[in-house]
Structure 1
C-alpha cells in the first residue's frame, strides 16, 4: 500500500459553538504591517483597544508551539502499519484552549486511533473525552477472552495488559485526580460486555464498536455528574465535564480498513493523488449542523410537530448550539427537574454560574442532543495518501481542496 502517511491536524479559529455567552466577548484582529504583524485585542467594554506588535519569528513561535509529529517505527526495515506517521497542531483561540487531540496505537487489537475534540462552554468535556474515548473504543474492540483476562488481573491485583500506547505532545495531559473514577466506569463497561458475551468467538463489528463506545462514554459522563462524588474537587470536575460539551471526529485505521466516527461538525478529509499528480479531496464525514438536511429532518422527527419551528432557530439547536451532536451538554439532554436538582445540590461554583442555571427556550421534550456518531467506512487504495482530521475552524476558513493541496505539497 502507498497510503502510508496520515496527517491529523486540529487547528482552531475564533468561533463560538454557543450563542449564549455569560462573560464579556473578545474580538481579535490580525493585519500585516510592513514587516510586522499588528495584533489588536480589545474587550467589548474596554474604552481603548490594546495593540501589540509581533515579529515574524514570534508569529512562527506561536504557530509552532503545539506542533507534534510521530513516525510509526519500522521492524526489520518494514512498516507493519498502513500508517507511516502523523503530524498535528493546535492554534488557540481561547484561553485556555478548548479543543483537544489524541493519537494512540491499539496494543491488544490491530490498528491506530486518531481524533480531534472541539470543546465549547469550557474545556472540561473535550479534555475528558480526549482522555477516555479511546479506552472505550479499545475495550469495545477486544475479544471476550481478552476482556476476561483483564478482569481477572484486576480481581487478583496483577498487572493489567496494556491496551493503548499513547502518542502525545508534552502539553497534552491526563487528569490524575479523576483517573480512579474514570477507570471504575470503564471497568463497569467491560464487565457488562463480558456478561453480554457468552464467550462464543465472533468477529467484532468495528462500526458497532465505535457507536457503542461513543454512546457509553457520554452516558457515563451524564451518570457521574448525577451521582456526584464525596471529593469536592472531583464532584465539581464531573459537573463541569457534563455541563460543557465537545464534538469528536475519530479515525480507526487497520490495514486497508479506515473507519471514521464523527459526532458534531469537525471533519475528516481524505487526500487522493490522481494519475496526473494532482490532488483531490474526498469527504469521509458529514457535518451535524443546520447545513445538513438529513440532520434537520432527524431532529424534527424526534420531537412533536408543534416543535418543528423551535427545535432549530437561526441555524442553532434551540437557537443556541451550533452542532446537533455532541458529548456532554446535559443542558440539552436532561429534564428541567434533573438539571435543577443537580445544580441545587451541587457546589456553590455551579449554582452561581449563570450558564448552568440557564434553561434553553422551548425546552419541552429532551433530549435534544445525542453523542451517537455517524460512522463512515473506506477501503484504502494506493492513491489514498493521507487523511486530515480538523475542527470546524479550519473548514470555515479554507476550502477542502486547498487543504488537501497544501498538505499534499508539504508531504
Structure 2
C-alpha cells in the first residue's frame, strides 16, 4: 500500500497524487494477429498451468475446526497471500483463545486477522503476532487475570492463552530482546486492568469478562500505545553513534522501526455464534449471505477509514481547529501523505513536534531508512500543529450469525482494488457450491440408475469450473488477477500479472492477503 508517500514507492493503482495513475487495462497484451514467429515466441514464454499454480498456491493455507461448541459456528477457513512489494508488507494471523470468558478450556473464541503494512513490513509483522494476545487478555474475566498474575509472581507455569493456526513466518526474524519486552508489556496491561477494576466497583461485578466490543477497542489502543512507548524508550537509550551493518536484525525489527512504519488491521472475533469485527484502515470484511432464492448477496461489516468516507472525513476534521481544515487532509491524504486515517504505528503522525525533532536529529539507521522526501517532510512539518492526527481506535461491528450467513471474507485493499465485493461473494458462493458437488456421492436406497446417471452428469458439469482450486482464497486470487470481465479467467492476463518482475508488479497491484472463514457449511473442507 502506498500509504506514506516517499516518491520511491507511490505506485498504488489510481491512488497517489504524486504520480500519474496506472491502470490494469494499460497492461500490454500481444495482438492476436501478426507475425507467426512472434506469436509462437509469446506462447513459448507463457508459463505452464503447473507453474502458475505453484505461484498462486505457494502461500495458501487451510484449516478445519472440529465439530462442536469449540468451532463457534465456523467449519474452517482458507487463506492465501501474494506479494507485490519486496519484502511483502501484508501479514495475517489466526488463532483459538484457549480460555474463554466462561472459564471453559479449549473454546474461548476464534480470532482471524489481516494486516496491511506501509512504509515497511515491521509494524504489520509485530501487530500480527502481538495483537491477539492483547485481545485474549482484554476479554478474560478478572478472576482469571488474577490467577495469571499470581502464577507469574510465584514463578509458576502460566497456561497458554492462544493456539496459533497460522504463525507468521517472519516471527523468527525478531530481535532477541523483543519477546522479553513484549512479555513485560503484556503483563503491565493485565496489571492495569486489575488496578482499574479495584478502583471501579462496577468492574468487580464483571466476573464473566469484559464486553467484547470494548475489549477489542482497548486491546487495539493499548498495543498501539505500547509500540509508541517502546520506540521512545529505544530512541532514548540507544547510542546515536551506533551504526549497524546493513541487514542488522536489530535495525530491521527494532521498536523504532516498528513504530515508524504502520499497519491497518481487520480482526474478526467469533465466539458462540456471535461475530465481532474490529477494523482500522482500508482492509475490509464482508459476509456472504445466501438468500432464500439461492442468490448471493454481500453484507459489509467494515467501512474504509479514508478521506473517501464522508463520516471519517468529518470525524478527523472535527478533532482539529478550523484553521487546519485545509491542511489536515490534502489530496485525500492525512497531511497530504498518508492514505488511511486510522492505523497502528506511524508515529510521525502521533508524536509531539519536540519528540519528532529529537528523532530526526538522531543518526539512527531506522530514521535514515524511513526518512521521507525532504520537501514533503518540510511541508508536513509546516502543517503539524495539533498532534496526534492519527488514531488506532477501531470501529467494531457486531453480528449474530444466521443460517443464511455462509462465509466471511477478510482481505487487504490489494484485493478490493481489483474486485468488487459483490463479485467476491458471488465467486466464493459458486466455489463452495462446486465443492459440494465434488464430494463423494451417497445415493439414497431408492435411487434408480437413470436418476443416478443424470445426477452424475449434473455434478460433472457443475464441478468443471472449480477443479483448479480447492482453496476459496486462492480461487479469489486467481480471478482477481486474471479477470476477463465476464466472470472467468483470461489465461494470458493471469500469466502477465504473475510474470511481472518485483520492480514492476507494484506498478499494477498491491500485496493481496485473503482469509475466507466458512460458516454453517458442513463438509466443505
TM-score (norm 2): 0.68
Q: Quick check: 2:260–2:345 contact (8 Å CA) kept in 1?
A: yes
**Corresponding residue of 1:97:** 88
1 CA distance for matches of 2:325 and 2:47? 49
Q: What is the Cα deviation at residue 223 of structure 1?
A: 0.4
**Corresponding residue of 1:60:** 53
For residue 297 of structure 2, the aligned residue among 280, 283, 287 is 280
Q: How does 1:11-410 map to 2 (within 5 A)?
A: 15-22=1-8, 53-74=46-67, 80-109=71-100, 110-168=108-166, 171=169, 173=171, 175=174, 177=176, 178-198=178-198, 200-202=204-206, 203=208, 204-228=210-234, 234=250, 237-345=254-362, 347-351=364-368, 353-355=370-372, 358=377, 360-361=380-381, 362-410=383-431
Judged with a 3 Å threshold, the aligned counterparts in structure 2 of structure 1 residues 37 and 71 are, in CA distance, closer, same or farther, namely farther
Q: Deviations over 1:377-403 (max 9, x none)?
A: 111111001100111111121111110
* 1:111 match: secondary structure: strand
Judged with a 3 Å threshold, the aligned counterparts in structure 2 of structure 1 residues 227 and 56 are, in CA distance, closer, same or farther, namely same
1 CA distance for matches of 2:169 and 2:93? 12
2 CA distance for matches of 1:280 and 1:205? 30
2 CA distance for matches of 1:368 and 1:16? 18
Judged with a 3 Å threshold, the aligned counterparts in structure 2 of structure 1 residues 140 and 311 are, in CA distance, closer, same or farther, namely same
* 1:69 match: secondary structure: strand
Q: Deviations over 1:76-111 (max 9, x none)?
A: xx8743111111111101011000001000111121
Q: What is the Cα deviation at residue 156 of structure 1?
A: 1.5
Q: Quick check: 1:66–1:90 contact (8 Å CA) kept in 2?
A: yes
Q: What is the Cα deviation at residue 63 of structure 1?
A: 1.1
CA RMSD of aligned residues (A): 2.7
Kindly name which structure, 1 or 2, has the bigger radius of gyration based on alpha carbons. Answer: 2
**Corresponding residue of 1:44:** none
1 CA distance for matches of 2:399 and 2:285? 12
1 CA distance for matches of 2:308 and 2:191? 40
Which 5+ residue runs of structure 1 have no aligned equivalent? 1-14, 39-51
2 CA distance for matches of 1:134 and 1:37? 50
2 CA distance for matches of 1:186 and 1:350? 27
Query: Of Structure 1 and Structure 2, which has the larger fraction of its residues in helix?
Result: 2
How many corresponding residue pairs?
383
Q: What is the Cα deviation at residue 21 of structure 1?
A: 3.1
Which 5+ residue runs of structure 2 have no aligned equivalent? 13-21, 33-38, 101-107, 243-248, 433-525
Bigger shift: residues 327-336 or 29-38: 29-38
Q: What is the Cα deviation at residue 318 of structure 1?
A: 1.1
Q: Quick check: 1:251–1:260 contact (8 Å CA) kept in 2?
A: yes
Judged with a 3 Å threshold, the aligned counterparts in structure 2 of structure 1 residues 81 and 331 are, in CA distance, closer, same or farther, namely same
Judged with a 3 Å threshold, the aligned counterparts in structure 2 of structure 1 residues 23 and 306 are, in CA distance, closer, same or farther, namely same
Q: Deviations over 1:276-298 (max 9, x none)?
A: 11110000011000111011111
2 CA distance for matches of 1:363 and 1:399? 36
1 CA distance for matches of 2:403 and 2:9? 50
Judged with a 3 Å threshold, the aligned counterparts in structure 2 of structure 1 residues 55 and 332 are, in CA distance, closer, same or farther, namely same
Q: What is the Cα deviation at residue 172 of structure 1?
A: 5.4
Q: Deviations over 1:33-68 (max 9, x none)?
A: 689998xxxxxxxxxxxxx75333222211111101
* 1:173 match: secondary structure: helix
1 CA distance for matches of 2:365 and 2:350? 22
Query: Of Structure 1 and Structure 2, which has the larger fraction of its residues in strand?
Result: 1
2 CA distance for matches of 1:72 and 1:149? 29
2 CA distance for matches of 1:389 and 1:379? 17
Judged with a 3 Å threshold, the aligned counterparts in structure 2 of structure 1 residues 324 and 25 are, in CA distance, closer, same or farther, namely closer
Q: Quick check: 2:5–2:372 contact (8 Å CA) kept in 1?
A: no
TM-score (norm 1): 0.86
